[in-house]
Chain A
Amino acid sequence: MFASIDELQTALAEHSYVADRPLTTAIFLALKLNKPLLLEGEAGVGKTEIAKTLSSMLGRDLIRLQCYEGLDVNTTIYEWNYARQMLQIRMLEASGKAQDDTALSNIFGPEFLIKRPLLQAIEASTEKPPILLIDELDRADEEFEAFLLELLSDWQISIPELGTIRAAQPPTVIITSNRTREVHDALKRRCLFYWVDYPSLEKELAIVKTRLPHASERLSQQVVAFVQELRNLDLYKLPGVAETIDWATALAALEQTELSVDMVEDTLGAILKYQDDIAQVKGSTVRALLAKVTA
């Protein structure tokens, strides 16, 4: 693995992820100390992307768990394959073995188990522990958080019918949150915490250039400068880096080499996702920002 922070930073850059020094330090420590990394930040600043990049960079599997309210054992850890179990019972009956207790209890064996993400992450091979991405934890409810707390400290899951399954080597865990609600402190204490902010002009330009090497230099620069200016406005939802990349991609696909008022207004939907915001920006604001950016 990586001996120093610099080495990790270079490797991340090679895999098209531009990370600044503090973020690299946090990732480095997450790998070294084997602690979960909790990434908080607005939508579209590249939180999920970190897990994906780590997975491809380290050549490890990515196991993703998208959170939503009401996540339970059946959807996160395991479920029994009921259809198969019932068929098995019928087959035992047909062959007259239904009264045989051991044959019957075998229907709660490993071959009838459907493994969900968390169990997969724990059970995975010992050589290359996977990257476990728990995405948008703030969408899950407190019951799930409490359960996760247990899992993250012991790395074991008990299934009443099968016994306890322990991770030979714990997976690298990346947790993301959009902060639509506060994640509980107890869980945070088990993690390294990093707030992913909107990038600076230089960093965002580097990101766009890495992602869209073929777009014209002039266009990339103007797009990034324009978005950076937008973030200073009083908008309901500020555009994230994902939006910047989308927008630059769209403009490049339209074979633009620089921004123009008409083009910006026609494609505003790529960066602003609320009608109020679009209505506010359209017209004079676009022209003013454009004049500033192209000056």
Chain B
Amino acid sequence: MEQGYLLQHLIAFGQLLREVGIPAGPSQMVELVTALEHVDIRKREDFKAAARCILVLRRDDLPVFDTAFDFFWRNLTRSEAEEELPRNVLSTMKVKRPRQLRLPSRPSEGDPSKSREEREERINMQLSFSARETLRTKDFSQFSWEEVQAAKEMMRRFKWRIEERPTRRKRPVKLGSQFDMRRTLRRSMNNGGEMLDLAWRDVRTHQRPLVVLCDISGSMDRYSRILLHFLHTISDGLRDVETFVFGTRLTRITRQLRSRDIDDAVQAVSKQVLDWSGGTRIGDAVKEFNFKWGRRVLGRGPVVLLISDGWDRGDPKLLGREMYRLQHSCHRLIWLNPLLGSPDYKPLTVGMQAALPHIDDFLPVHNLVSLEQLGEKLSQLGKRKPERRQQPLRERL
């Protein structure tokens, strides 16, 4: 291939990568061109390996890159190569979505073309103080579309805070627990080497990471949408949040929730998740989390929220075992159950029974007040881990 064509092709290839979601920036493309001075482009595998280690930054992107590479650099005749822009690779990569999130029905008179601001304004005007109070204690499952919008607005104003954890880092303070040799010696230079002015350091604290696992199976249907809003506000309001949803399988939605606009985020999530309103196998989902993600997101003493009604069709023994494991790899394991809001609810389902011994806190999540209580709880977790049963795992196997 002549030099001129090669450059064009490299640029087109970079474009293709960006289209399939691999962020190959211009500096990386330049890097690749430089690398080709050292790597023989006629050796396909070497060229591929070079492009791979320069253009791909994430492991998850590697298979996508391979497909794109094989597609783009397949043997083409010259005229084909000049004409064809590899668009169809995109369509082949799309996955079928069997199930979509069922949205609560909008009021029929509502004009969908109205801007969001207008709608929100209308809702705010509708809500007097007393209406707000009613809304706070109303069960999420009874919400109308308007009330969901109003609740969204109220949730947005919540201030989220999690009790901090001590880090291994120190910060300079006026008076602290540790002597700062370096600063003290520096200051002593002003006094002819006499250490009169002592400097101190103290432990720096940091917000604990939060990990949320949310059940979106059929039985949780009435709560799913409002809970997604809740997940969005909490991801938006706190620094370090990892979010997963599960029905029969586990899906990570952290990235989708990063979108600032709540509706965009929920839209993105509903596209990503394949098993809306299906069955539940909590044990399998927690196991998948422990195996695939545990080591990656449970590193720094996180608080884990598990949101589910406990209706489980899986093996209760498995659930018990995996909950034990999850509890022992986090700082605090909180189970939020929307059914707990009703006064006569008793956690008698087999799944709930299996999980209960391994939960630190069992709290309701059925209305706005319960979310406020959760917020309060998170900000006062205490420095120490709660006392837990010290039972060897083997007995449970």
Contact = CB atoms under 8 A, between A and B. Distances in A.
Nearest to B52: A22
Tell me if B's interface is mostly helix, strand, loop or mixed: helix
A121 B169 CA distance: 24
A275 B396 CA distance: 13
A185 B61 CA distance: 13
Given A69-B167, A89-B188, A179 B296 contact: yes
From A141, A143, A181, A182, residue with most partner B Cβ within 10 Å: A181
Contacts of B21: none
B198 to A, nearest CB: 13
A33 B32 CA distance: 10
B53 A189 contact: no
A242 interface: no
Interface stretch (A47-55, A97-105, A124-132, A168-176): A97-105
A32 interface: yes
Interface string A242-286: 000000000000000000000000000000000110010000000
Interface string A1-44: 00001000000000000000111011011001101010010000
A93 interface: yes
B53 A33 contact: no
Given A33-B34, A279-B397, A70 B53 contact: no
B45 interface: yes
Given A21-B46, A180-B295, A141 B57 contact: no
Given A25-B39, A104-B192, A180-B296, A193 B53 contact: yes
Contacts of B185: 80, 82, 85-86, 107
A143 B169 contact: yes
B39 A40 contact: no
Nearest to A32: B38
A5 B27 contact: no
A189 B28 CA distance: 8
Tell me if A's interface is mostly helix, strand, loop or mixed: helix
B131 interface: no
A147 interface: no
Given A69-B168, A98-B192, A29 B296 contact: no
Nearest to B167: A70
A23 B53 CA distance: 9
Nearest to A20: B49
Given A179-B296, A276-B397, A92 B38 contact: no
A29 B168 contact: no
A200 B67 CA distance: 21
A33 B35 contact: yes
B56 A193 contact: yes
A33 B296 contact: no
A65 to B, nearest CB: 16
Contacts of A37: 53
Contacts of A182: 58, 296
Nearest to A186: B57
B393 interface: yes
A192 interface: yes
B340 interface: no
B189 A105 contact: yes
A99 B193 CA distance: 9
B86 interface: no
A189 B62 CA distance: 15
Interface in A44-103: 68-70, 72, 74, 79-80, 82, 85-86, 89, 92-93, 98-99
The 4 closest A-B pairs by CB, nearest first: A70-B168, A22-B49, A89-B193, A25-B49
Given A5-B46, A21-B49, A69-B167, 9 more contacts: A21-B46, A25-B49, A29-B50, A70-B167, A72-B170, A80-B181, A92-B193, A182-B296, A276-B393
